[in-house]
């Protein structure tokens, strides 16, 4: 098992600072490219929130040698798949094609990294502002519970903490993006020295190294060291708060959230383990009790959001009409107290461990998702080959570890958010 999870890779840097990771796997005639820029919504300022995500859109608007729409069109033409995503910590772009089109995707990514600015127009900017405003309306403002994450973050972090605003940004900020904002942002953050290019799958190593040099080697770099650019202000997290609002929803939703600050890699693994114990299956403690035995909620989920500066551990439940948030809160807290005192039992251990075993193997499937994991591990831990290490950590978790970590993080400083069904909205 451990051998299966071992990833053999090469990692090096071009002269312009671009970090390159190569992972060869010839089991399918497919190759994946994953390009991660060390910039996310954490690098934005109030008044210009959403700029990193806006960039994710703008990068498909063409460059000096590629007309707008051509990136998608060419990839589609060769049967490839592609997309991009923005998080609070980083922005990434990826393409997966049959291995004979590797050079095409290297060209496409290098083209927008090196030649984006000359093709920038106000018209393109306005078009993508309109698209993103629609994206925000569709996925957040017009969705039941769509604003819950945004409001929870706004409650839990002070206004100057970069996790206090949503990655997609606020509507008025999105509408304010100008050509100057776009140029400045690109020149600062889309430098080769601020990115990691990962190629995984079926390719010839020597040839690929030469191709990467050919397409990326001459792209100028600003050589700025942006790793520690974001300074999270002191005392910028907020605790022991309660926030309530109304939305067009059917059921009341309760969220309890704890800050996970300065956690170690091992502690994150243990917290993940606790999520599984609480709500990971029909036998999850909270699921079994609240959903199946007492039938008080329609859903309950415990989730750990790990990020660069701090994480959140959130338990959310949608509560049936005849019950109230206070009693559900007490049940969740009671279960956490039991874990803090006694940890978990043998059966829970076995289930969680074996579940992870299968999960680890599954994460090896599909070169695109594997590359996504490797590049993410590299971003957070400067080491792509972590599946193996994580697996060993899981296998080594003891009951004492669980009790220790539960006591460290689950104190009474949690924040509480309740979303109530809007009065009259059910008529």
Q: How far apart are CB 395 and other proteins at their closest, in Å?
A: 13
In angstroms, what is the minimal distance from the CB of 60 to other proteins? Answer: 9
320 binds other proteins (CB under 8 A): yes
Size of the site for other proteins (CB under 8 A): 73
Q: How far is CA 398 from the centre of its chain?
A: 28
Owner of token pair 């060869």: 24
Select the residue interacting with other proteins from 23, 37, 90, 101 (CB under 8 A).
101
Name residues whose C-beta falls within 8 Å of residue 198's C-beta, 6 or more positions apart in sequence. 20, 21, 22, 23, 33, 34, 35, 36, 371, 374, 375, 378, 384
Residues 171-230 that bind other proteins (CB under 8 A): none
* Cβ 82 to other proteins shortest distance, Å: 9
Among 251, 344, 374, 419, which residue sits at the site for other proteins (rule: CB under 8 A)?
A: 251
Interface segment toward other proteins; rule CB under 8 A; list 6-14, 47-55, 267-275, 276-284: 276-284
Name which of 128 and 182 has its Cβ closer to other proteins: 128
Pick the closer one to other proteins by CB: 107 or 170.
Answer: 107
- Residue list 65-94, contact with other proteins (CB under 8 A): 65-66, 68-69, 72-74, 76-81
Of the candidates 99, 91, 93, 53, which has an alpha carbon nearest to the alpha carbon of residue 72? 93
- At residue 146, the 3 state secondary structure works out as coil
How far apart are CB 101 and other proteins at their closest, in Å? 6
Residue 164 lies near other proteins (rule: CB under 8 A): no
Which among 182, 88, 189, 80 is positioned nearest to 127, based on CA atoms? 182
Starting at the edge strand that comes first in sequence, how are the strands of the sheet with 252-260 ordered?
Answer: 242-247, 415-421, 252-260, 311-319, 297-305
Q: Which of residues 115-134 bind other proteins (CB under 8 A)?
A: 126-134
Nearer to other proteins, 241 or 395 (CB): 395
Smallest separation (angstroms) from other proteins to the CB of 61: 9
As a whole number of angstroms, the distance between CA 135 and CA 307 comes to 24
Q: Which of 15, 121, 122, 139 binds other proteins (CB under 8 A)?
A: 139
To the nearest whole angstrom, how small is the minimum distance from the Cβ of residue 80 to other proteins?
Answer: 7
- In residues, how long is the chain? 427
Backbone φ and ψ of 148, nearest 5°: -65, -40
Q: Six-digit token pair at 297?
A: 């909620």
Alpha helices (H) in 284-324, listed in sequence order: 285-286
Structural contact between residues 318 and 344, judged by C-beta atoms closer than 8 angstroms:
no
What part of residues 335-374 is at the interface with other proteins (CB under 8 A)? 347, 350-351, 353-358, 361-362, 364-367
Q: State which residue, 110 or 255, has the beta carbon closest to other proteins.
A: 110
Q: Which residue, 312 or 370, is less far from other proteins as judged by CB? A: 370
- Binding segment for other proteins (CB under 8 A), chosen from 11-19, 99-107, 184-192, 400-408, is 99-107
Kindly state the tokens that stand for 333.
């807290």
Query: Which residues between 297 and 316 bind other proteins (CB under 8 A)?
Result: 298
First to last CA, the chain: 56
Structure tokens at 321: 């009409």
């Amino acid at each position: 098992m451990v051998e299966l999870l071992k990833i053999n890779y090469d990692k090096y840097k071009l002269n312009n600072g671009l970090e390159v990771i190569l992972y060869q796997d010839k089991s399918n005639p497919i190759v994946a490219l994953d390009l991660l820029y060390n910039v996310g919504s954490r690098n934005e300022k109030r008044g210009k929130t959403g700029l990193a995500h806006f960039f994710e859109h703008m990068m498909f608007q063409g460059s000096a040698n590629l007309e707008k729409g051509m990136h998608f069109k060419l990839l589609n033409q060769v049967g490839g798949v592609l997309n991009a995503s923005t998080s609070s910590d980083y922005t990434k772009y990826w393409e997966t094609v049959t291995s004979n089109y590797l050079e095409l995707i290297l060209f496409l990514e290098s083209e927008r990294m090196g030649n984006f600015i000359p093709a920038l127009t106000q018209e393109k900017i306005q078009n993508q502002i309109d698209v993103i405003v629609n994206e925000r309306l569709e996925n957040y403002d017009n969705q039941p519970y769509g604003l819950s994450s945004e409001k929870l973050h706004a409650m839990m972090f002070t206004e100057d903490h970069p996790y206090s605003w949503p990655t997609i940004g606020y509507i008025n900020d999105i509408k304010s993006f100008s050509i100057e904002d776009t140029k400045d942002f690109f020149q600062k953050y889309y430098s080769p020295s601020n990115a990691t290019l990962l190629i995984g799958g079926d390719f010839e190593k020597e040839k690929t190294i030469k191709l990467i040099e050919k397409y990326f080697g001459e792209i100028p770099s600003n050589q700025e060291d942006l790793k520690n650019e974001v300074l999270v202000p002191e005392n910028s997290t907020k605790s022991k708060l309660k926030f309530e609002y109304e939305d067009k929803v059917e059921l009341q939703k309760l969220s309890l959230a704890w800050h996970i600050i300065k956690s170690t890699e091992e502690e994150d693994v243990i917290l993940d383990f606790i999520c599984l114990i609480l709500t990971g299956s029909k036998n999850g403690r909270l699921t079994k009790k609240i959903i199946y035995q007492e039938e008080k909620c329609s859903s309950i989920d415990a989730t750990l959001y790990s990020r660069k500066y701090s994480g959140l551990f959130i338990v959310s439940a949608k509560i049936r009409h005849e019950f109230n948030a206070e009693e559900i809160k007490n049940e969740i807290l009671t279960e956490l107290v039991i874990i803090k005192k006694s940890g978990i039992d043998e059966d829970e251990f076995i289930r969680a461990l074996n579940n992870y075993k299968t999960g680890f193997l599954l994460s090896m499937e599909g070169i695109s998702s594997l590359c996504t994991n490797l590049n993410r591990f590299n971003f957070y831990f400067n080491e792509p080959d972590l599946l193996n290490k994580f697996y060993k950590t899981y296998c080594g978790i003891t009951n004492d570890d669980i009790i220790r970590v539960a006591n460290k993080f689950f104190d009474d400083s949690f924040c509480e958010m309740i979303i109530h069904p809007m009065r009259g909205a059910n008529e």
